[in-house]
Structure 1
Amino acid sequence: MAPQPVATNGVSTAFGPLARLAAANGQFPDIALVSSDSVRFHVHTSVLRSASSNDFGGLFHAQANSHNIHIDEAAPALNIMLHSAYGLDIVPYTPNWSMLEEGTEAMRRYAIRPPTPTDPLFTLLLSQVHRPGGAQAVYALAAQCEFDALAVAASEHLLSLDLSSITDEWATQCGPVYIKRLFFLHLGRTEALKRIVSASPTLHVPWPGCSRDEQQQNILRPWSFAVAQLIAEARPDVPNSLIETRLSPVAYRSTCVECSELVAAHIRAITQEWSNVKHTI
């Protein structure tokens, strides 16, 4: 399906002069916003004042006697911002990342409330993490605009980020608070993994055919070696499959069925606990 055009003949397709939208209780628009590329968006002062905490950047006060308010945003960015303010779905317009970035930054300037995780704009912004470099871009944008829910959601996609590769430019974009939260996420998960895997399996009391020496040789020593490998490889994005690959062979070193079952159960407990470790900032 072709993207819906933002404007036709210089007038917004969604915010025309006769648009009667649910957010405005079906009332006709009372003012027009004119974008930097001369597209007119017919809107409702009451809706925008309700959505903005700075009187729409003070424009309503500065141009109180004008029916046409000229703003610095281009039509695609203004369209995104207004769709968010009105609770409308921006997806049919299929905005690219540049448009989404400009629209989100405009929302910050005009103090439009951030999208919530149930809003279409939030979903569309978060989908950008799958682009090359997209997770860092989304996280930085969310940090700059103080869209905390979006930053939290994006942070899960930065677990594989090499912190030593962070540039000064990106760190500046994110700001000290969100950089610190990301570092703490990485360090916290790495330390949690080391703690979780360090616990040795609890084995049964020695009996004939499975003595303490045999348990040491077949289970506990190999386990310690496998754990040492895991700790050396510890990072915040270690998958459960790697944990199982390193530890599972230990379960099959002993001819004792009960020892094998206890080790396997311990591995399952480890992967479950690792899955439960907080994976967002």
Structure 2
Amino acid sequence: MPEYALTPKELIDANHPLLHLLLAHAPLRPLDIYALAGHHGIEHLAKPTSSHLLSLSLHHITDALAARMGTTYLRRLFLLHKSRTDTLKQILAQTPRFHPLTRLCDFEAQKKLTRAWALGTTRLAWKLRAGTSRLTRRALDFDWTLKFVFCFSHFLDTSTQDIKDVFVPLTTKLGCDDCMEKLKERLQDVLETWALVDCTI
């Protein structure tokens, strides 16, 4: 392209067939496509591609890929993962509400609802599979704004199905129909809220 005085950023605009071709390959090679977009500053390619990187363990980013995509897009990818993890923690921090007291399920008995939610949250945390990036200092020497990456703990993204798989089985173990209903209501709120969280840079 440079030989013909063409730049990828100018050529791959929002309406160019080449953009649609690259996006078609994004589900299969998201990291390569994202690195290409970051290297040339093609926002309308990087943004939709980033959604395919949510399930990526970030330690798979090699030194070469980190350098190629550049500090701006590398940082934005890390922050996307971190912000979604933090948001999910905030969503799950709110426990189900208690139902009105009944003869068979008083305040003390309803504490099992809170315990069940805590158990589900703990199990989900294991599914997030925390890890530590192995990006090397050499790869990041080109911009000290990314020093935080050395000790950045990241998580694999969580789907709504992951959340269902953890919490739905717990609804059958409460022994109280009202408690089960409250847990289901809270779970539905979580799923709806999580589905609205940004999934792109």
TM-score range, shorter chain: 0.7 to 0.9
- Inter-partner Cα distance in structure 2 for 1:221 and 1:271: 20
The 8 Å contact of residues 159 and 186 in structure 1, kept in 2 or not, is answered as yes
- Confirm or deny that 1:129 pairs with 2:26: yes
Partner residue, 1:7: none
The 8 Å contact of residues 19 and 45 in structure 2, kept in 1 or not, is answered as yes
Task: Name structure 1 gaps, 5 residues minimum.
Answer: 1-34, 36-56, 58-71, 79-105
SS at match of 2:200: coil
- Inter-partner Cα distance in structure 2 for 1:147 and 1:280: 14
Letter in 1 for 2:90: R
Task: Name structure 2 gaps, 5 residues minimum.
Answer: 129-154
Q: Quote the offset at 1:232 in angstroms.
A: 3.3
Partner residue, 1:188: 83
Partner residue, 2:123: 229
Q: Quote the offset at 1:113 in angstroms.
A: 5.1
- Inter-partner Cα distance in structure 2 for 1:210 and 1:194: 29
Q: Quote the offset at 1:112 in angstroms.
A: 2.7
Letter in 1 for 2:127: E
The 8 Å contact of residues 57 and 156 in structure 2, kept in 1 or not, is answered as no
The 8 Å contact of residues 194 and 231 in structure 1, kept in 2 or not, is answered as no
Letter in 1 for 2:180: S
Give a deviation string over 1:115-138, Cα, whole Å, max 9, x none: 11x44222111111133xx11111
Give a deviation string over 1:41-67, Cα, whole Å, max 9, x none: xxxxxxxxxxxxxxxx7xxxxxxxxxx
Partner residue, 2:138: none
Q: When the two structures are superposed, what TM-score results if normalisation uses the length of structure 1?
A: 0.58
Which has the larger share of helix?
2
- Confirm or deny that 1:172 pairs with 2:67: yes
Task: Output the aligned Cα RMSD.
Answer: 2.1
SS at match of 1:277: coil
Partner residue, 2:10: 112
Q: When the two structures are superposed, what TM-score results if normalisation uses the length of structure 2?
A: 0.79
SS at match of 1:130: coil
Letter in 1 for 2:7: M
The 8 Å contact of residues 189 and 236 in structure 1, kept in 2 or not, is answered as no
Q: Which has the larger radius of gyration?
A: 1
SS at match of 1:112: helix
Letter in 2 for 1:107: T
Change (3 A) 1:236 1:275: farther
Task: Could you list the structure 1 runs, at least 4 aligned residues long, displaced by more than 6 angstroms after superposition.
Answer: none
Partner residue, 1:261: 181
- Inter-partner Cα distance in structure 2 for 1:191 and 1:163: 16
Partner residue, 1:248: 168
Letter in 2 for 1:155: S
Q: Quote the offset at 1:236 in angstroms.
A: 4.7
Change (3 A) 1:119 1:258: farther
- Inter-partner Cα distance in structure 1 for 2:176 and 2:56: 42
- Inter-partner Cα distance in structure 2 for 1:245 and 1:130: 24
